[in-house]
Amino acid sequence: MEHPPVLDFATDFDHTDDAWVADPYPIMEDLRDRCPVAHSERYGGMWAPMTHATVSAIANDTEHFTSRTIIINNGRPGDEAPPAPIGVAPPISSDPPFHELARRLLLPAFAPRPVNALEGFSRELCNRLLDDMGDADVINASLQYTQHIPVGLIAKMVGLPPEDGDLFRSFVHEIIEAVDLPVEERIARFAPIEAYIIKLIEDHRENPADDLITYLLNAEIAGQKLLDEHVFGTIILLIIAGIDTTWSAIGASLWHLAHNPDDLARLVAHPELIPSAIEEFLRAYAPVTMARLVKDDFEFEGCPMKKDDWILLSFPAANRDPEFFENADQVLIDREVNRHAAFGLGIHRCLGSNLARLEMVVAIEEFITRFPKFELADPSAVTFSQGQVRGPRSLPIRILERA
Amino acid sequence: MKIHLDTSKCQGHGRCYSLAPELFDCDDLGTAVVIVTGELDDDQLKKATLAASNCPEFAIVIGD
């Protein structure tokens, strides 16, 4: 099922449209000026706020908006959709008060200290990938580098076979990219993913290990073991949320450096700028857009929202709002004031943000140390993903200088 | 001038303790904790202001 091309994003918004996938930023800017909350009848009805103020208001309003479903697709969320408060993938799909209980279970594993302990592992992984590139002049940074880094880290933390990386990326594709398929086909395509996760859980029940799956199997909320669907949903979340998101963020950073030689030279000369550069790449190229559902009929900013309408919660749009950021359209790697919303706002702040930052800093440090000069081998060959996670999926880079 | 942290607003983005680790730390959940609770000297004030102006949730206020 293919949607027709969008003629006017203000009234017929579609984030899977080719124009949006190719370059969403001018569209965001145009909408902010004339229609800050865009609308569409697609996907059964959706709204797309484009300003920081409206994105922030909705992210912080759990009374009128639910996280029960967070990926917009053709399945109109009705009685069949998993109910709040747990939802399909807790805690991202959970509402208060259950949300906090599910989130507290996971927060300690993703807090700075345990995550930073993975720095050495991350550096080894990046260097192995760089070694594997040999002395080729042109490499595909997305396929040979950025896609493997989050898989390696998530596999280690969660307890997944790292050699199944291709399989996880195919899961990611089915769940968050193939959103425009008929519902029946989406359900059919989910069956092998379900079978894989169930097998994974059985394996961990028989052979406990020092990983998050074993932790979830032993965890309790109010003295009760977690429901099977809770464990299942959280494993799905950890696989889906941790892979293509960071893959996208690292890829977008390298893409920027590959066509902004001054910024690349500056980071090579002043690696102490890397953390602020990473924050700026997160702001300017925020990979993740979330979604909410309207709980009940509700008027928001003059928009007559109906129960179960989708909300596309574009943190990338919030991050480019000139009302909120000075020089919002410029990428300034030494930006001092940067309250970006790349990891969301409010109670659903990305659980893996510390891990994502570690991966980004290490991946960029190791790449530019090994290759202090590089450029896009063919700018027209760079492709971006479609859907709610945006990042380069093919990124041919020509190496101009090696360490 | 002192650091005022509204822990009900803090969501654990971690910007403050990354930018000013001498003023902020975090607990086991990643929520920010203020280390320097008293009056700030000039250097500390600069760092605290930087941390406050990078908090996505506006959870930090520098004031009396």
What does pLDDT average to over chain A? 93
Q: Which of B13, B17, B50 sits opposite A349 (nearest CB)?
A: B13
The yes-or-no verdict on residue A331 having pLDDT over 80 is yes
Lowest mean pLDDT among A69-78, A85-94, A290-299: A69-78
**Tokens of residue A217, six digits:** 């199997």
Query: What Rg value do the Cα atoms of chain A yield, rounded?
Result: 21
Q: How confident is the model over A13-22, as pLDDT tens digits?
A: 999 999 999 9
C-alpha A277/C-alpha A259 separation (Å) is: 15
- Answer yes or no: do B30 and A275 touch at CB < 8 A: no
C-alpha A9/C-alpha A18 separation (Å) is: 12
Residues from chain B that touch A354, judged by Cβ atoms under 8 A, are 14, 30
Lowest mean pLDDT among A162-176, A217-231, A341-355, B40-54: A162-176
- Answer yes or no: do A345 and B29 touch at CB < 8 A: no
**Predicted pLDDT of residue A79:** 46
Picking from A331, A356, A32, A41, the residue whose alpha carbon sits closest to that of residue A24 is A32
- Answer yes or no: do B12 and A338 touch at CB < 8 A: no
Do residues A14 and A3 make contact, with C-beta atoms less than 8 angstroms apart? yes
Residues from chain B that touch A353, judged by Cβ atoms under 8 A, are 12-14
Residues from chain B that touch A336, judged by Cβ atoms under 8 A, are 50, 53
The predicted model gives A291-299 an average pLDDT of 95
**Predicted pLDDT of residue A77:** 61
**Tokens of residue B4, six digits:** 């005022």
Cα A308-A184-A289 angle, rounded to 5 deg: 45
CA distance to partner chain A, nearest, from residue B20 (Å): 13
pLDDT band at B37 (very low <50, low <70, confident <90, very high): very high
C-alpha A239/C-alpha A190 separation (Å) is: 14
Calculate the CA dihedral of residues A260, A262, A264, A267 and round it to 10 degrees: -140
Lowest mean pLDDT among A41-45, A120-124, A280-284: A41-45
**Predicted pLDDT of residue A173:** 79
Q: How confident is the model over A353-369, as pLDDT tens digits?
A: 999 999 999 999 999 99
Three-class DSSP category at A351: coil
Three-class DSSP category at A318: helix
% of chain A beyond a pLDDT of 70? 97
Helix orientation angle between A353-370 and A274-284, rounded to the nearest 10 degrees: 120
Cα B24 to chain centroid, rounded: 5
Picking from A240, A82, A90, A93, the residue whose alpha carbon sits closest to that of residue A173 is A240
pTM for the structure as a whole: 0.96
**Predicted pLDDT of residue A3:** 80
C-alpha B49/C-alpha A63 separation (Å) is: 33
Residue A223, C-beta contacts closer than 8 angstroms, at least 6 positions apart: none
- DSSP annotation of A218: H
Terminus-to-terminus CA distance in chain B, angstroms? 5
The predicted model gives A87-111 an average pLDDT of 92
The yes-or-no verdict on residue A178 having pLDDT over 80 is no
